[in-house]
Amino acid sequence: MGDYKLFDKTAEFGNGFIIAFVHQSQLLYFVLFLPKMLQQSYLLFGILAVGILSQINLFILSKSMSYMDSKQGYNGFAKLFGHRNLRIIAFAGIAVILIKLCFIVLGYAEIVHQFIFPSMQPSWLFLFIMLICTYIASQGMEKTLRFGIIAFFCTFWMILLYIPYFVPPGADVLDLYPLIPAGRDEHPWKGMLMIWSSLSGPEYIILALPWINPKQKALTYLSIANGISVFLYIVLFMACLFFFGTPYLGKISYPVLNMIRYLQTPVFERIEIVMISMQMFQYVFLASFLLLSLYGAIRISACSVHKETGRKGLYGVSFFVLVCLFLIDQFFGRQGKELNGWTNLQLWSGTLTYLLIPSLLLVANIRRRRRSSH
Amino acid sequence: MRSPIFTVLLIGCICFLTGFSPFSDQNTVEEIAPVTFLAVKQGEEKGSLTVATLVPPIMNEEKQFFSTKVRLLEQGRRQFNFKYYREIRFGQLRMLFIDEQIAKTGIVNLMDTLLTDPEVSPRLFLIVFKGDFEAYTKNQMQKQKDLDYYLYRMFKHYEKENQGEIAVTNIHEFMEKTHTPYSDPYMPVFNVDKNCFSYEGTGFFSNGKLKGQTDKEQDQFFLLLSKSKFLKNVIIEPLDLSLGEVHAIVKKQVNLKDHTVVLKIQYRGRIDEYRGSKDLNSQADFYELTDEIKDYLEEGTVSLLKTFQELGVDPLEIGRQTLTPVSKSMSAEDWLTFWKSAKIKVDCSIELEPLTI
């Protein structure tokens, strides 16, 4: 076991990786029922507005990334915050990462349960997904990140499935009217928050900092990925509005997946099954990345960074996650799907991490620069 | 190095192969019967249903007609399972025949039940029937072995873009139109008795309840104005004339100030049969005939819209014309009161190719 290293670095990834990572992290579970929560067509502008805010945020992120010395990894962060503070931050990070990880796995299991295996116990699905994630994570960070590229190509084409919904007579521009909110009785804030939270995820790229080279035009690639995501959000939302219309959209669970059931091919009928299965690549990639991050965060807060990484530790962490999944499922399972307490928790935690991490990092970097220049 | 993963995989394989698996759905072909249609009828008691289907759908066996009295649709499936050695599945369900009586009392909750099942496709065809479906099926399956399949092919044929003839609809369209303001769903209505299964017209729904239907003559106008805007044949009996390949371009306008609804329709088609007394080679007679056709189409359309007003339905989605990008839209109730009392103006123009050999 001596030469077994999880966080080894042998190669540097190109910038395409940044696009793949950001794109994958922004098109996760929330997107699948975002149209249902937005419902009103004028929130198309909401998506655009939040997309621009997200762009500003990515600008801050890339700025603070360019200050960091990417080669140093843990030591870079330790210099920036101090060992003690870093341990506290990592400890807080455990909670955040754990929430996000559980959220992804639970969300995916829920979808599979609803669309593919309604008669199966969801806990089996947790087990299978965690087994796959553990396997991928045990290959080390570098291979996991490479897996992200595969996942990207497995899921990117799915947007093509939505083209038929834009063909008249099904798509009628009258479905989008009125584009200006009429009454003041609606509450778009929850929807806006949800867009922001579903756009969150790119902040986790700082955890993969040693493997990427952020100095070269990182901002350009972050922006491209963000632009693609915002575009896809708009496409999906418009497709949902065309297909269901505003009032009916509010009654559909997972409208983005549900509408795929309407497609027909001469070869096979249930395209959504193929689509959901392919999406597993994306969910598994992010879950294994987060699993490794969780393992790293636990090591930092336990002050065992300089010890060798071992499989046993990683297996322990994934077992811990599995137990968490069962507990969360037990606890929140009865509250109904979609916007229950658990989803709200992720809604807020995603919002806060995306809002705070880039700015905090920037502030810390600027303070350190000032200190060193004095 | 790889031993733990290998062990897990091995155990997994052993579990699956020995039948210990988390899947409780078994899809062995010999053990299931994926039925293609359900016929739902009002039961004798209030709130009860009679559900019927034909099994087996594919196997080379004697067909059997099953019918059972239940309160819930899913209960029907269970009752069938009790009587039959195969398990009934809805994975291939293609058609839902709804009795007129039950359609009048409201069917949205039935649709909800079917849509909840992930196996049931949202393209499930909906059909209203009048008469004795059981007698028809029992009689017909003697002569025609794959009766249910051919019925499905018929709807599939007319569903395809621009086929006309029958206004086919599916469960998704029905639900979307039921929920969307200013738009009401419709379904084809069939008359069923022991010997025949024949198309009668289109039935119109509002709030999930059947309100009324067109007759065959009116149905032509509806088909020309609805989704496909095309008919292979328009029969004009009073003029002894048939128009072929008729396309319609429809412009709808709602004038809230004048309280009028204006429909401008441009028809294009050709005369493909004429048994009247006019000489079509004479220019004057041809113009006269064109005017007569125009008047006939206008009158027919007006009478169709008047029917809609009486029934309080809007299957042509005329109310949607009131939507604008900026202003607040009127409520569905306001539209309905407006529509019921609106003045109707229909303006037709027709472009005809003469009868040529």
- Indicate the residue of A261, A311, A315 with minimum beta-carbon distance to B122: A261
CB–CB contact B172 A262 (8 Å): yes
For residue B281, the distance in angstroms to the closest alpha carbon of chain A comes to 39
The answer, yes or no, to whether residue A227 has pLDDT greater than 80, is yes
B192-248 pLDDT per residue, tens:
998 889 999 999 999 899 999 988 888 999 999 988 888 888 999 999 999 988 999
Res A215: pLDDT? 66
Q: What is the pLDDT of residues A118-145, one digit of tens each?
A: 888 888 889 989 999 999 999 888 889 9
- Which residue from B minimizes the CA distance to A245? B180
Cα end-to-end span (Å), chain B:
84
Nearest CA-CA distance, residue B165 and chain A, Å:
18
Place of tokens 């909670």: A95
Lowest mean pLDDT among A116-120, A367-371, B27-31, B148-152: B27-31
Taking residues A9-17, report their average pLDDT: 77
Chain A closest-CA separation from residue B27 CA (Å): 12
Average pLDDT over residues B172-188: 92
Chain A interface disruption, residue of B117, B156, B179, B254, most A CBs within 10 A: B179
Q: Does the beta-carbon distance from A264 to B176 stay under 8 Å?
A: no
What is the sign, positive or negative, of the torsion defined by CA atoms of A188, A193, A195, A198?
A: negative
The mean pLDDT value of chain A amounts to 86
In this predicted model, what pLDDT tens digit does every residue of A65-87 receive, in sequence order? 888 776 777 888 888 888 888 88
A135 and B CB contact within 8 Å: yes
Please count the residue pairs, one from chain A and one from chain B, whose beta carbons lie less than 8 angstroms apart: 68
Q: Which of B25, B123, B329 is facing A262, going by the closest CB pair?
A: B123
A8 in a structural domain: no
Average pLDDT of chain B, as a whole number: 87
Q: What are the chain B neighbours of A251 within 8 Å (beta carbons)?
A: 179
As a whole number, mean pLDDT of residues B102-118 equals 90
CATH number, domain with residue A236: 1.10.4160.10
Domain boundaries in chain B? 29-213, 224-322+331-357
Cβ–Cβ of A178/B326 closer than 8 Å? yes
Q: The tokens 């059947």 sit on which residue?
A: B210
Alpha-carbon distance B179 to nearest alpha carbon in chain A (angstroms): 5
Calculate the dihedral angle through the C-alpha atoms of B132, B133, B135, B138, rounding to the nearest 10 degrees. 180
3-state secondary structure of B130: strand
Quote the tokens at residue B317.
């989605």
Tell me, yes or no, whether A194 lies in a domain.
yes
List, in sequence order, every beta strand (DSSP E) within chain B.
Answer: 32-34, 37-42, 49-55, 64-70, 87-89, 95-99, 125-131, 186-192, 197-206, 209-213, 230-236, 241-255, 260-274, 343-353
Q: pLDDT for A294-304, tens place per residue?
A: 999 998 888 77
Round to whole Å and give the CA distance between A122 and A328: 12
Mean pLDDT computed over B244-262: 91
Q: Which residue of A has its CA nearest to B321?
A: A174
Determine the Cα–Cα distance for residues B290 and A85; give it in Å rounded to an integer: 89
Q: Check CB contact of A183 with chain B, cutoff 8 Å.
A: yes
Helices then strands, each counted (H, E), chain A: 14, 0
**Shortest Cα distance, chain B CAs vs residue A233, angstroms:** 21
Q: A178 and B181 in contact by Cβ < 8 A?
A: no
Contact at CB, A248 and B179, closer than 8 angstroms = yes
Q: Parallel, antiparallel, or unpaired: how do β-strands B197-206 and B32-34 relate? A: unpaired
Please state, in angstroms and as integers, the Cα–Cα distance from residue A126 to each residue in A284, A287, A325, B49, following that order: 11, 12, 7, 40
CA distance A304 to chain B (A): 23
Cβ of A169 and B118 within 8 Å? no
Q: What is the four-CA torsion angle of B208, B214, B215, B218, rounded to 10 degrees?
A: -160
Of A116, A118, A180, the CB nearest to B325: A180
What does the pLDDT average to over B52-72?
Answer: 83
Q: Which of B122, B320, B321 sits opposite A262 (nearest CB)?
A: B122
Domain-located, residue A136: yes
User: In angstroms, what separates the C-alpha of B286 from chain A's closest C-alpha?
Assistant: 35
What is this model's ipTM?
Answer: 0.88
Question: What per-residue confidence (pLDDT) applies to A307?
Answer: 76
Per-residue pLDDT reduced to its tens digit, A346-361:
889 999 999 999 998 8
**Is residue A56 domain-resident?**
yes
Q: How close A345 gets to chain B, by Cα (Å)?
A: 28
pLDDT range class, residue B20, cuts 50, 70, 90: low
List Cα–Cα distances, A116 to A39, A109, B52, B89, in angstroms: 26, 10, 27, 15
Q: What are residue B246's phi and psi, to 5 degrees? A: -85, 125
Give the model's pLDDT for residue B328: 77
Nearest C-alpha in B relative to A122: B22
The pair of structure tokens assigned to A112 is: 């599979």
Distance separating the N- and C-terminal Cα atoms of chain A? 46
In this predicted structure, what is the pLDDT of residue B282?
87
| Partner-chain residue, chosen from A135, A178, A311, that has the shortest CB–CB distance to B329 | A178
CB distance B180–A169 less than 8 Å?
Answer: no
pLDDT value of residue B116: 87
Here the tokens at position B246 are 């008729």
Mean pLDDT of B149-172: 85
Q: Is-cis flag, bond preceding A178, omega within 30?
A: yes
In the prediction, which pLDDT does B24 show? Answer: 62
Average pLDDT over residues A238-253: 91
For residues A2-31, average pLDDT: 79
Does A183 sit within 8 Å of B176, measured CB to CB?
Answer: no
Q: A191 pLDDT band (50/70/90 cuts)?
A: confident
> Are residues B320 and A174, on separate chains, in Cβ contact within 8 Å?
yes
Interface of A with B in 109-128 (CB under 8 A): 114-121, 124
**pLDDT tens digit sequence for A36-66:** 888 888 889 999 999 999 999 999 998 888 8
In total, how many domains does chain A have?
1
Q: Give a yes or no: residue A3 inside a domain.
A: no
Q: How far are the Cα atoms of A70, B221, B275 from residue B240, in angstroms, in the given order?
A: 86, 17, 5
**Across A105-114, A178-187, A354-363, B16-25, least confident range:** B16-25
Residues 311-370 of A with CB under 8 A from B: 311, 315
Q: Which residues of chain B neighbour A264 with C-beta distances below 8 Å?
A: 123
State residue A338's pLDDT score: 59
- Answer whether B121 sits within 8 Å of A138, measured CB to CB: no
pLDDT reading at B140 higher than 50? yes
B172 CB neighbours in chain A (<8 A) are: 262
* Cα A192 from chain centre: 17
Q: Which chain B residues touch A if contact means CB-CB below 8 Å?
A: 4-5, 8, 22-25, 118, 121-123, 172, 175-176, 179-181, 227, 320-321, 323-329
The fold of the B224-322+331-357 domain, in CATH, is: GMP Synthetase; Chain A, domain 3 (3.30.300)
Dist CA A66 CA B235 (whole Å): 76
* The predicted structure's pLDDT at residue A206: 87
Residue B298's pLDDT band (boundaries 50, 70, 90)?
A: very high
Q: Is A261 on the interface with B (CB under 8 A)?
A: yes
Q: Are A270 and B120 in contact (CB under 8 A)?
A: no
pLDDT at A185 over 60: no
Query: Do B325 and A179 lie within an 8 Å CB cutoff?
Result: yes
Residue A357 falls in which region: left (phi positive, over 0), alpha (psi -120 to 50) or beta: alpha
Write out the two tokens for B344.
């109707």
Torsion of CA B117, B122, B127, B132, to 10 degrees: -20
The residue among B27, B99, B29, B79 whose CA lies nearest residue B57 is B29
Joined tokens for residue A171: 């798509």
* Residue A87 placed within a domain: yes
pLDDT for A4:
58
Provide the 8-state DSSP code for B97: E
Full residue range of the structural domain in which residue A79 is found = 16-180+187-366
Measure A118 CA to nearest chain B CA, in Å.
8
Rounded distance between C-alpha atoms, residue A133 and residue A56, angstroms? 33
Confidence band for A3, pLDDT divided at 50, 70 and 90: very low
State the smallest CA–CA distance between residue B201 and chain A in angstroms: 23
Inter-chain contact A178–B175, Cβ cutoff 8 Å? Answer: no
